[in-house]
Each structure stands twice: as C-alpha cells, then as structure tokens.
Structure 1
Amino acid sequence: MHGTTTRRPRRHRARAASAVLAATAMGLALVPALSTAAQAETPATAVSVPGTFNSEIGCAGDWAPNCAQAQLSARTDGSGAWSKTITVPGGSHAYKAALNNSWNDNYGAHAKYHGADIPLQIPAGGKNVTFVYDPVTHWIADDINNKIVTAAGSFQSELDCAADWAPDCLTSWLKDIDGDGTYTWSTTAIPAGTWKVKAAIGQSWTESYGQGGSPTGADISFTVPTNGATTDFAYDSTTHVLSVRTQEPPGPAPDGTLGALYTPARTTFRIWSPDNSQVSVTVGGQTHALRPADVSGYTDVYQAIVPGDLKNQPYQFRVGNNPVRDPYARMVKPGTTEGIVMDADAVQPTGGWAPRPAITKREDAVVYELSVRNFTIDPSSGVDSAKRGKFLGLTQTGTTHNGVRTGIDHLKELGVTHVQLLPAFDFNSTVPNWGYDPLNYNVPEEQFSQFTAPEDRMREFKNMVNEFHKNGIRVLMDVVYNHTANKDVFQNITGKYYTQTDLSATGNSIDDGNPMVSRMIRDSLEYWVKNYNIDGFRFDLLGIHHAKNVDAWAKHLNDTFPDRALQIHGEPWSGGVSDPQEAVKVRYGTTPTLAGGHVGVFNGAYRDAIKGGTRDRVLGYMGGSSPNTSAIALGMRGSPLATKSTNALSDPWDPAFAYDPEQTINYVSAHDDLNLWDKITYSGVTGGPAGRAGQMNRFAAGMVLTSQGIPFFYEGDEFLHSKVVNGDYETAKNSYEAGDNVNALQWGEKALNAATFRYYKDAIALRKNSPALRLGTWDAVKAQMSTTTDGSVVTSAISSNAGAPGSHDTVVVYNPTNNAYNVSLPTGTWRKVLGTNGAVDSTSTTADGLAVTVFKKS
C-alpha cells in the first residue's frame, strides 16, 4: 500500500470572478468584460441572454441571468445549439450569453469568455429577435447583428437532421465569430458522394441563395471524394455567394490509439467520450468539432483530423463546456489541462539507443527502489548542482563523497540489475513528495527535469534510461493506474473512469473493469516500453485491478516486445477497504492465473514473517524469537503453490501462491512505512551498526538475497540510511511528503557504514554467481531443493543441476538464534562462502547466530 490517503494539492486553477457593476444613474447594470483566456468549466444546463431589455420582457430587473423570460431552449435538431425568439422593445440595448443562471460563466462579443457586451439596436415599436448560442464555439448570435445562415442541402440527414433541405437544422450552421461578414463552417462528417446545397437565411426558405449568390440560383453541387474528407462552407454576406470546397482527408492516423497523433501533414485528435457528443479541440487558435469515429479496439471515440504541421503546439480538448485533459497526452503545459502535440518517435536519446542489458531469466534480477529526487538531491551525492534531484542526476558518473562512490557508480558497485523509480510521471504534488497522485500518465514529471522545452524534457528522460542501460542497469517504473490525484483529472470527460466504491482510500479509484479504461492503461504501458525503452513496471495497489486485465496487459506487452524480458510486479492488495469483487482482483490467490504474463507480486507474508509489522515494535524471525519457521521455509523456497496449477486459489491470501519463483518479490523494506534500519532501532534493538542492530539488518537482507524469487530492497538500506530526524519515528513511518532532511540519501552514511555496504555487495555477487539461488521454475524448486527445520533454524540444500536434482551443491542456513549452529553438510568438499559479515572462504561447518550462512560444494 502506498503511504497515505491524503495528498497535498499542487496546482490550483483560477476561475475568473463574475461581476456585475452597480447600477448606473440611468438604472442600467453593465457587465464588465474580463480579460481572460479561461473558458467555462461547468456544463451548460441553462443558457440565457441577460441584458438591458430584461425588465421590459417581464424579468424582475435587467441583466438577470436567472430570469425565465430570458432563457433559451436546447434545440432538438442534433446541433447542440440553444435558441429562442424574444420580442425586444425599441431602443439601444446590450446583452450577453450567461450559462447556468449565473454570471460565473458568460460570453460576450466574438464568443469571448467574460467578453464585451453585445450592442443591440432595435427600431421603434420593438422587434422579434432570434438569439442562437453555440456551445462549442460559445458564439452568441442574434438575427439583428448577424445572419443565421444554414447550409441546407441533400446531405443534412447524414448529419442527424430530421430531413434533408432543412433550413432550420443548425447542425450545418455557418458562423461569423470574428465579425468580418464571412460565415463559415467546416466538417468531415459528410460521407463520400455528390451533394447539393443552398444558403438559407433565418432558418427558413424565405431568403436563400443558390449559384452565383442569386435568390433564384440553382442548387450548388459539390463532391466529397472519400469518407472523412474535409468540406468547407463559406458564405459572403455582401455578395451572398456560398462557396464549397472539399479536400481529401489528411490520411489515416499514424497508429490506432487515442490522443494527439502527429504527422507533419496533419494531427489526428481522438478522445473517448461515452456520455457527451459535444466534443471539440482547440489548437493553433482554431476550435474543431470532433465527430464519432470507428477506431478498432475502442468505443465511443470522437475524432478530428487537423491539417498542417502542429508539432509542439498546445491543444485543449473540451467535452461539453469543460476543458479536459487528454488522458493520452505525451507532454503537457505544466499547471494546465492542455496537451502538447509531440512527435515522440522522432525524439531520440543523444547518440541513439544503446543495447538493453541482457538478462536470461527474471529470477536473475536484483531490484533497487529509489526516488529520482532522494537519490541525488543532497550535495553529498557529488552530482552537479543543476542535475541534483533530476532525471540525469541519476546517471551522472564519476561522483564520490569522502572517498566512496555515489549515484550510479554506487549502484554498479553494489551489483543491482534493475532500478525501480518511484513515480516519475506527471503528478499533482510538489517535491519533495513521492508522487502517488497522478495527473498525466504518459508525461515525465517536469519537476524532475532541467528543461522546459517539451522535446528537451522528453529527451532527458530517454537519456536517463539510455545511460542506465549503458551502465548495465535496467529501468522499472512505479505506475499508479489505480487512482488519480483527484476526480477532476478525468471526471469532466466521463465518470466512467472511476469505481462507484472507492478502493484506494484516496476517494478516486480507477475502474479498469470498464474496457476503455483498461485499454487506456494497456496503451500507456505500451507507450512507455515503446517510446522510452522502459524495462518493466511496479504497480501501486495492483490489487485494485482485475486479474484478467492485468494478465491481458502483461501478455500483450510480452507478445509485442518478446525480446525485452519485461519485469512486471505490484502490490496484491487495495487501499485497505472492502472490495465486493475481491475474488476477481489481484491477490495472492489469483497470482497463479497471472503466470502466463510473467506477473509477480510483493510477498508481504514473507516480509512480515521476517521482520514483523511495518510500523510497530514487534520483531519477526530476524528478532530471534519467532516460532513461525514454516513461513520462513516457505518464503525461502519462493512461496511455491502446494499443487502446481494456474487456477485461482480458494483462499485469496494463501501465502503459498507462486506458480513460478519469478512471481514472488521478496523484500523487507520499501518506500512505505519504516525502512529496515528504522524498524530495527524503533523496536529497541541496540548495539548500533557494529553490534546486534547492524547484524540484524544484514541477516534480513541476506535472507532476501538467498531466497528463491526476485530480491528487492530500498535505497539506503545497504548503508543503514535512517529517516528518523531528532527522534521523530512518526514521520519516518510515513514520509511521503517529508523534507529532504528525512528522505534524501546522505552519502556520508555509506562511508560510516562501509561494513554493511560490503555485506550487501557480497551477498548480491554471491546470488549472481550461484544458479542454485535463482531456480527458474516450480518444478525446479520441488525437485532440486530440500528444506528442513531444526528448532528455529531453517536449512535448504539446493542443486543447481536439473539433471542431477539430488546432488546438492549449495546449502543455505538461516539461524536467528544467538548461538552458532553446526551444519550437517552432504558428502563432498564444502566451503563456507557467506557469513555474518559477508563473503568468506572457510572450511568451517558452523552457521553463526543471527546470520545467513551459505556453503558451496567445491
């Protein structure tokens, strides 16, 4: 579980305040024009025309946005427009469009948000005035200042009008937003074929114009060459000429996903909108309506193909009146819901991609969890000041402190094969913070970047991955697809992104039971692997997700990238709440069903058996007093299933769950809760690094590194990093938003605790050089590994040779007692190779107390 249910917000959207000026001496209230680029943030459930004539049409006063007589009606012609004809008295008037009976969201001249009042001159005696409002462009028009122009023709029924040749169907309404006298409309929804059209004025045939702008002119013919072609209509209000221009569609999207799909000639914008057909995108100063599109593998997708080279241009999706973020955005403007059009494939790491480090099987991995910030932010890291706490700070070589290696050189010296990055995608909180509050799943977090230019930020992340690869280390990402920073992230697109009952303890768990949400997660995973060369993922609260979906995501990734040996694992629990669908979610009990996708889970049962609770003073097996040797023996063997099967277990929390050793992630410490050293000292263990406390740290780490499965440990455990400042263990228990003085690695600790570091280094090297510690199948564990207990001492004899499973060549002994234990070794010549303090070379057959001892056959 991630550390807390409370996340501190980082970005706040400012809403322009609505205001009405006090009445003038003439008794008129004027609404000021506010200079803002904002747009309405709430859907339009009502539209009115408050103005200086309101009191004369029966309102209680003028400028009354909530007056019934000033309310427009939603049209039923499929256009989404609102309209009403009102008898306005003679005189000089002014008005605006107001949404939802208030001034919070209003539009004035030229469709400007909080724009200028629109003047309205009515002849003496009054006149019927038709007002029409378009919710996509926010243009409010009247038939005094404007013409209500419709492209009426033989194609209108194809646009969901009730009939063809319907001048009163505003689905094909032409608009003059800039007031230059030319009314325009563009669409890609008219199917291929030859069609006819005329310009109808005022929603009737009383005034209309055909060829040559003549009232008696013939129908205007035009041909749409293919489905999806763009058809542009333009009506000149001076000459009355309606011109129609069609052009071939810009071409198919470059791939089959959603978002902003770039080519130099056009960008295809796509978004899922299952509840609202009023969808648009604004890019390059123009707003484009999105139309339904058939996209294989997706449903309820809306699309617009915008010609031209839009690379690096910001864009804003809107659903209804709400600006919404693009769930597929590859880059964003920080602090906004705007995406940025990216040519992601063209942004390559400096010098091109290097080969990925080879790995034979997943059990060969040694995973090291770190935070982009924590690892290098302290000056003791030796990293250049501009790179500290940044992506490229992680891969700066040649850094030292007090004569010891730091940064990536430290990781190489230690011998880890994989780094697991705490969330490095775009999150909501400020750093220092762990980042478990996602905003944009496909965007590198800008606070971890040295750069502001989108391509530079993207390249920096790719350079980081590439440099890790050059140094023999693979890169895993901690991903948080189980919830978002808040419901504002996706709610205004559709509430279908979220579960009805929160499962994350954050109030906004994601519902991958919806096929389109599941597909979004799969697409995001694939994007990181394809475009950033990521080697795998750690899922936060994987237990919120449906096991069948996790299996499908993993299988898709492995089938798509068969040469990657991707590492995929996660927490098999939810946010500590009851889940009515628990039986089909990821738990220990459903882990066997994930074997085909090579998905593993964090082995919390083994963790607790070794160290006790994560935030208490109860010590487990490493404390020397735990009688639960059976749990240790099971974890030492990789927690294998009692019976080999890929069927789900009846007990969702059965600790014997692994179909394959790669399915158990063995650990005693992670970013959550007390780290290993703080757990030991909090529990009252004394002696310091050189005494019992330090020995207990090594004992626990040695168990993780000699058990079957995949070992995992947390940054700084290898040199006894402590998060306790001035005796404050409570902050250390949940340090997700604590300062650098708590979380940042202090590299002086490595020099002070060199003996502990040496032990970790030796144990990792032994694991990498001992095939018996990395068995690759359930069958191998069953046939080649014999485990026995003697009191609280647990011993395993292992054969590394599948052809001679009974010829044990490695013996591992866990002795939690205070006394040496005499080991009865199989026949042959044996050497003790790992002891209390690390690598040894001895003929002794004793296993020291509170130690992992490893013997190998000569």
Structure 2
Amino acid sequence: MTDNYRAGHHPHGHAHGPVPGLLPGTPAPLGATWDGRGTNFALWSAGAAAVDLCLFDADGTEHRHRLEETTHQVWHGRMPGVGPGQHYGYRVHGGYDPFSGLRYNPHKLLLDPYARAVDGELRLHTALFGHPYETVDSAVPDEQDSAPYVPRGVVVHDPFPWDGDRPLRRSWSDTVIYEVHVKGATARHPDVPPHLRGTYAGLAHPAFIDHLLSLGVTAVELLPVHHFVSEPHLLRRGLTNFWGYNTLGYFAPHAGFSSAGSGGQQVTEFKTMVRELHAAGIEVILDVVYNHTAEGDHSGPTLSFRGIDNAGYYRLDGGNRARYTDYTGCGNTLDVRRPAVLGLLMDSLRYWVTEMHVDGFRFDLASALARSMHDVDRLSAFFDVVHQDPVVSQVKLIAEPWDVGEGGYQVGNFPPPWTEWNGKYRDTVRDVWSGAKVGVRDLAYRLTGSSDLYRSDGRRPFASINFVTAHDGFPMADLVTYEHKLNEANGEDNRDGESHNRNWNCGVEGPTDDPDVLELRGRQVRNLLTTLLLSTGVPMVTAGDELGRTQGGNNNAYCQDNEISWLDWDAVDSDLLAFTTRLVRLRRAAPVLRQEAFFEGHELPGTGGTRDLAWFAPGGGQLSTGDWFDTGLQTIGMYLDGRGIRHRDEHGHPLVDDSYLVQLHAGPDPVTVELPGPPWADGYELVLSTEYPTGAPPEPTFVAPGPLVMPGRCVWLFRVERRP
C-alpha cells in the first residue's frame, strides 16, 4: 500500500493542519450548505485517512484545508465567509492498493457527490486516471495533479420564486409521455432565439411548449439531466456523450444545457423550465441513472466516487477486487446495498422532487438497483426504502426493468407502485407490423394493458408504459426505412447498436423516390402510432416520431451531438403531425381507450349481451380458441363498450363513454371484415383510418354493419352508434 497524504507537496495550496477560521461544522446535511454567513462542507468516506477541502479562487488558485472533524464516517467543517458561487472539490488520502479495492489518491481532485452545481469541462489528459496511464493494475498511484482537467462543484443558494408551483400529480390514465432530449428538442428550432437553443430555457420557450400543447402530450420525459461527462474513449475519437447516461453529479443539473452560465445559474434555469412547463399543465419526468457512474471500469478516470471510497460506492468483483461487478454494461455498478449509497440515491430523488419540483423518474437499468447478491430481488432494500418514503413514493416511478446481468430481464416483475417500460409491448407491436407470423394472441394482451404481466400483483393497466420506439434504437421513420443499422459515424465499425430490430423496410433499403414505397412507409408509421395510442396503458411517444424525424439509419446515436440527433424543424411532415395530433386528442377524449382497470370480458347487464371487451374475427364472429392460437391470423377486431368502464370519477359517479371498435389488419392484401350488428351496434362512424395521411376519412363517415373490404396494412377506429 502507498499513502502519500503526509508528503506535504502542494504547489498550488496552503499547508495542511488546522486552518484559522475553519470550524468543526456538522456531519449533516452532506454536501455544501450555505447558512447566510458561511458554508458547511460534509463528505462521507468510510475508509479515508484524511480529507482536504479544496477551494478555488476566481483565477483558479487552489487553497487546501484539512477537515479535522469526522463523525460516523462523515468528514466535515464549516468555512465562515464562504458562500454561493464558491468553486470547490476534495482530495482524499488513504491506501492505494487496487487488488484490495483501495484507490485513494490525493493527487486527484474529486467532485462532491452532493454538489448542487458543477462548473468546468472534463478535459482528456493522463492525469485523470488514478493509476499510471499505461499500467492500470499498478500498485503505485499516478502522481499527476488532475485539478486542471476536471469539473468542480459550486456552492449554491437559490431562493427561487416558485409562485405556488408544485408537482402536478396528473393521473396515470390521463398521461401521454413525450420522451425528449433537452438539447435535441430545440437545437435547430427556428422560433427559439439562437442563444436559448438546446437549453433548459429553450425547452421552456413558448415555441416548444406550444408544440407540446398542440400535440396533446401531458408529460415530458427528459433524457438524463443529472450532470454528466463524456467517456474517454469518445473524447479520443472526437465525439461526446449526447444522451447523457454517464452521470457524475446526482444533484446538479447538467451545466451544458444552461444558457445562463454554469456558476450555479443552471439551477435557476432548470427550475424556471419546470415552472413554465407546469404552468402549461405538462409534467416533468427525469430519466435517472443510479445504476452506474461516469468513472467506468477499472481503467477509467478517478473523478469522484472512486477516489472518495471505491469499495464503499461500487460493487467489486469478489474474486478480484481490482475489478468491478458490471450489471450495466458500462464498467461499474453502484452498490445500493450499502446504507450510504442508498442514502445518496434517496437524498437525490427527494431533492429533485422537493427542491426542483419534478413529477417523477424513469430509472435506467432499474434491475441493477434491485440486486441483493446476484439475482434481482423484489424485496431489496431499494424497493423498501422507495415504497415507504413519503416524498418519492408519491411521484411517478417508471422502471426500465432489465439490466445486462444474468436474470436481469424483469418485465412484469417490479412491485407496486412501480410502472415499467413494457419491452414485450414494443417487441409484439413491431413483430405484428413487420409481417412476422406471430398471430394475435400476444397482441391482444398488449392492446388491453398487458394483464398477463401486471394483474397478478394488484397493479393496474397503467403499470404498462407502452412504447414502440425510444431514444435507443431507430426512430419510427427509420424503423420502416432500414433493416440494417448504419452506425459507422460512431467510430466502432458498425459493431454497436442492436442488430435485430424486428422491423421491415417496406421492400427497399434506405431512401427511395418510389411513390408506392413512400406511401406504404407513411402508412406503416401511422399503423405503429395508432396501435400505440389506442392501447390501454400509458403511451410514450419518442420526440420527432410525430414529425417524421430520421437518423439516417443510425440506431445508436448516443454519441451524435449533431443533426443526426437534433429535431429538424425545417423538415416536418405536416400530415404526420396532424395525424398524431388527431390520434392523441381522440385518446384523451375517450375514457374507454385509457381504462384504469383491466377488462373483464363479462356481459354487461341491460345491453342485450354485449361485453366490456370483445374480440372479433374477420368473419364477424367472436374469436374462437383456434383463432387465438392461429399464428397466421393477421386481422382482429377489438370492441370496447363504454358502458362497462369500471372506474368512477372524482365524485364517485360511474363513467360512461362512447363505445369503439378497432379493426386492425396487418396482412399485405385486402380482406373482407364483417362489422357486427345489434346488440353490438346499429351503425358505425369511422373517426380515424391509417389509409389517409392525416387520419381523417372522407365524408360520409357512417358505415352500416355488415361486410366491408379493408385494405392491406391498415387500422380503422369506429365510434359505435346505437339507436335511441
């Protein structure tokens, strides 16, 4: 082991020892807390031998102050006269023995895990690494000073004028999620002022909020906004991490999305964005990455957690503690089994709800958080703490229910009150519309809230977050244009990204001028969107799918901070936008399309024999057992009786809605379908058809019961009409 903390070589700082004016302070709260006259600094490290608080002048001069007080593994001290805007970091001393899990190195400036704001870029240099650059398993630490190359924390005090704002608490059944990247949303928006494009202020600009309101979505799910940095391997290739799944600061809004500066102003700008979105009735959900950090694997940089307490923050490989247990595919896994790490996670979540007013969270690779030893544990401390927390348990909680470890695919297995990204929904819907012969049995489950996944443990249909596309993968326009990924721009020889996308290019690979192919591709996009927005559960629309956005065949654009990823507001498919808007509004106006309880399939009293849910074969009869297991069946009718809604309004009155018939035909050729007559309906109004670019069918729209020829690859939505 090597312990250099008493060497006393500090060319840019003060000598160690008690510092005049440095007071004992308190161990709580963790982080840097200004009290009006000074700032209390508190840092958890179970194994440190000593901790230096490093304060930086405006010109970058560093002043080091030894924290002499430690309480329950928290090192603390109070600096009178230090206030908001102060830049700071830590140097932590102790043993350096990677094979024992010890990676203390006081030559590395470390970011406070509880920093409320971060300033400065991560600059690629060999000094970033705790080990000698060419010898990752060296028993001797690297002695280059990393301070010139790493971000620093900023002391923040932000008495923001919330003006009565609070989380919106919109019901799940009323929710339509719009997954969007803060920068990508407005980086090219012509109606957003240039200095605001790609920022929190840009997302809050009326030009973008008006788009959200006209589209009808009720919540934005923001790709990561916790402060993140780019991986060294990307910086070496001249690329950056665009998506942001490489978190360094769990309390700090990402400084790169701020138009106002990074000395703490980003906190105010983020809060302003939330307030403006709330004023428009739009919730803010954050995509959060608590499963791993930006420090990567054993060869990665020492930026914060690794140097503060490597064995305390991370899950180390039991057979070789110089390596990490990697359930995330990103090099490391945070060890939420440890109270201090679980406390960090919960403190962060509460902070974003209470101080930043966000409405919920989507947890990236959530299965990694639920592992006790190796298996995903439904009874883990993580679930227990979240469930009993009076703040966090009351907001929207969405799990990405898988990780890359063995047994990590856990769709349907997260406990109440969790909702889940329903990967089975995505796969089934893509299979159906790509022409795979999968029948309609699984599709019926997905259309009606996936009761096979969520009913047994008391959850409701809204436990299913339905999606066809997301940030990761092809956008919807590319899903019907490319069968093969084109990821060469990522610099990995097209090896990255998913190769099996369950998609179909409509007969031609890539762009084409063939009008028949273009018409079919447009209809296929409308089919996918219609299936998504007519399904029971909570729909998630990926930003740009309503505009016809393409990534040119790149299905892993995580490192493309450019026109590949940004929304192109000058190339909007206006018909598709009108179609999506029509579809969202139809859904929001019809409670029967967004049920809060699972369908029963029972006959409804006084209706003459109709059911709350019924399935029809093309010939007009209800589906038989044989039909359900016919993998060649590509046509199905879904009848939803609005008189059978099982939930009530806020006053306790039973909800009654119009009844609807959805006719879905995924086959390539026209088919004759029989629309059922009484008691199901006396007639039908065709309110939406994917045959037409905007979804609006030509007049007249009344259709009598009986046979009707349905074109290939089409969805019809009928409103049921009954005689008085």
Matches within 5 A, 1:722-801: 722-724=550-552, 729=553, 732-750=554-572, 753-778=573-598, 784-787=612-615, 789=623, 791-800=633-642, 801=645
How much does 1:451 deviate? 2.0
1-structure distance, mates of 2:109, 2:580: 51
Do residues 332 (structure 1) and 118 (structure 2) align? yes
SS in 1 for 2:332: coil
- Taking a change above 3 Å as real, the CA distance of residues 477 and 807 of structure 1, as seen in their structure-2 partners, is closer
C-alpha spacing 1:624/1:462, structure 2 compared with 1 (3 Å):
same
The AA in structure 1 aligned to 2:478 is: D
Letter in 1 for 2:387: K
State how far apart, in whole Å, the 2-side matches of 1:643 and 1:408 are.
Answer: 33
475, 482, 486: which one pairs with 2:295?
486
Match of 1:641 in 2: 452
Match of 1:814 among 664, 679, 682: 664
CA distance in 2, matches of 1:390, 1:491: 30
Q: Percent identity?
A: 27
- 8 A Cα contact 2:639 2:662, kept in partner: yes
Q: Structure 1 residue 674 and structure 2 residue 474: aligned?
A: yes
Closer, same or farther in 2 for the Cα pair 1:330/1:688, shift >3 Å?
Answer: farther
- The aligned residue for residue 492 of structure 2 is none
* Compared CA separation, residues 473 and 187, structure 1 to 2 (3 A): closer
Equivalent AA in structure 1 for residue 36 of structure 2 = P
2:155 is equivalent to residue 341 of structure 1: yes
Tell me how far apart the structure 1 counterparts of residues 469 and 177 of structure 2 sit (CA, whole Å): 12
Q: Partner of 2:210 in structure 1? A: 409
Shift of 1:549: 4.4
Task: Please tell me the residue identity of whatever aligns with 1:816.
Answer: A
Q: Which residue in the other structure is 2:714 paired with?
A: 851
Alpha-carbon distance in 1 for matches of 2:196, 2:452: 46
Contact 1:706-1:767 at 8 Å conserved across structures: yes
Q: Which digits, 9 at most, give the CA deviation of each residue in 1:266-313, with x for residues without a partner?
A: 43322221112422424484614152325xxxxx33332344452322
Q: Which aligned pairs between 1:600-611 and structure 2 lie closer than 5 A?
A: 600-611=419-430
Partner of 2:129: none
Deviation digits for residues 623-668 of structure 1, max 9, x if unmatched? 344333111111111111379433xxxxxxxxxxx83212111111
Are 2:656 and 1:824 equivalent residues in the alignment? no
Q: Which residue of 1 aligns with 2:334?
A: 510
Relative distance call for 1:342 and 1:701 in structure 2 (3 A) is: same
Alignment of 1:163-182 (within 5 A): none
Do the aligned partners of 1:689 and 1:695 also contact (CA within 8 Å) in 2? no
Q: Quote the offset at 1:259 in angstroms.
A: 1.1
SS in 2 for 1:797: strand
Q: Is the 8 A contact 1:535 1:567 kept in 2?
A: yes
Contact 1:609 1:628 in 2 (8 A): no
What is the distance in 1 between the residues matched to 2:161 and 2:395?
Answer: 21
- Tell me which residue corresponds to 2:537: 709
| Aligned partners of 1:264 and 1:311 also within 8 Å | no
Task: Normalising by structure 2, report the TM-score.
Answer: 0.72
1:464 equivalenced with 2:273 (yes/no): yes
Q: Show the counterpart of 2:128.
A: none
8 Å CA contact 1:420–1:475 kept in 2: the answer is yes
- Amino acid paired to 1:498: Y
2:3 aligned residue: 45
Answer 1 or 2: higher relative contact order, Cα 8 Å, separation at least 6.
2
In the alignment, which residue of structure 2 is the partner of 1:91? none
Asked whether 1:560 is paired with 2:391, we answer yes
CA distance in 2, matches of 1:780, 1:462: 44
Residues 556 and 327 of structure 1, relative CA distance in 2, 3 Å threshold: farther
Distance 1:307 1:816 in 2: 70
The structural deviation recorded for 1:737 is 1.3
For residues 543 and 643 of structure 1, do their structure 2 counterparts lie closer, same or farther at Cα, with a shift above 3 Å needed? Answer: closer
Match of 2:254 in 1: 445
1:607 Cα shift?
0.8
Classify the secondary structure of the residue corresponding to 1:628: coil
Checking the alignment, whether the CA contact within 8 Å between 1:833 and 1:839 is kept in structure 2 is yes
Please state if 1:384 is matched with 2:193: yes
| Alignment match, 2:132 | none
Q: Which amino acid aligns with 1:492?
A: G
1:267 aligns with 2:39: yes
Cα distance in structure 2, aligned partners of 1:551 and 1:689 = 48
- Number of paired residues? 572
SS in 2 for 1:718: coil
Amino acid of the structure 2 residue aligned with 1:842: T
Measured against aligned partners, the alpha-carbon deviations of 1:203-246 in whole angstroms (never above 9, x if no partner) come to xxxxxxxxxxxxxxxxxxxxxxxxxxx5xxxxxxxxxxxxxxxx
Counterpart in the other structure of 1:590: 413
Deviation, 1:316, is 2.3
**Is contact 1:780–1:802 with CA below 8 Å preserved after alignment?**
no
- The alpha-carbon distance between structure 1 residues 819 and 642, as it changes in their structure 2 partners (threshold 3 A), is same
Alpha-carbon spacing, 1:642–1:369, altered in 2? closer, same or farther (3 Å): closer
Query: Which residue of 1 is the match for residue 70 of structure 2?
Result: 292
1:279 aligns with 2:51: yes
8 Å CA contact 1:829–1:857 kept in 2: the answer is: yes
Amino acid at match of 2:358: I
**By percentage of residues, which structure has more strand?**
1
State the distance in 2 between where 1:545 and 1:342 align: 29
One of 686, 698, 701 as aligned partner of 1:842:
701
By how many angstroms is 1:44 displaced?
5.0
- CA 301–784 in structure 1, closer or farther in 2 if over 3 Å, else same: farther
Q: Which residue does the alignment assign to 1:833? A: 687
Q: Which whole-Å CA distance do the structure 2 matches of 1:710 and 1:784 have between them? A: 20
**1:260 match: secondary structure:** strand
The residue identity in structure 2 corresponding to 1:835 is S
Change (3 A) 1:774 1:283: same
Where do 5+ consecutive residues of structure 1 fail to align? Answer: 1-42, 48-80, 82-96, 98-105, 116-136, 140-173, 176-183, 189-229, 231-249, 295-299, 400-406, 612-619, 647-657
Asked whether the equivalents of residues 835 and 851 of structure 1 are also in contact (C-alpha less than 8 Å), the reply is yes
1:486 offset after TM fit, Å?
Answer: 1.6
Measured after TM superposition, the shift of residue 688 of structure 1 is 6.5
CA distance in 1, matches of 2:384, 2:37: 35
Corresponding letter in the other structure for 2:219: H
Which TM-score applies when normalising by structure 1?
A: 0.62
Q: Is the 8 A contact 2:169 2:395 kept in 1?
A: no
Q: 1:807 to 1:309 in 2, by over 3 A?
A: closer
State yes or no: 1:369 paired with 2:170. Answer: no
Residue number in structure 2 paired with 1:317: 90
Give the 3-state SS of the residue equivalent to 1:697 in structure 2. helix
**1:538 matches 2:359:** no
Aligned-partner Cα distance in 2 for 1:485–1:277: 25
Match of 1:149 in 2: none
Match of 2:519 in 1: 691
CA deviations on 1:546-570 (whole Å, 9 max, x unpaired) are: 143453454355x3278xx622213
Change in CA separation of 1:700 and 1:672 when aligned onto 2, cut-off 3 Å:
same
